[in-house]
Amino acid sequence: MLGWALTFFVIAIVAAIFGFGGIAGAATGIAKIIFFVFVVLLLISLISNAIRGKAPKI
């Protein structure tokens, strides 16, 4: 999921360089949403593993 956020971020940067403001803004918005969903799911995963008593996999 973090890979998708980075992909949309790169698309936003490339679109901004070429002057496509609408596409850049949309891609940035999508990247933000996906990133925050990733962070929320990461926190839920860490909390649930801490409650179960499992150590995180490295």
Q: What is the pLDDT of residue 44?
A: 93
Q: What pLDDT digit, counting tens, does each position of 8-46 carry?
A: 888 888 888 888 888 888 888 888 899 899 999 999 988
Angle at CA of residue 22, ends 6 and 9, nearest 5°: 5
Name the H helices within the chain: 2-17, 21-52
Rounded Cα distance between 1 and 44, Å, is 15
CB 27 within 8 A of CB 11: yes
Q: What is the pLDDT of residue 56?
A: 66
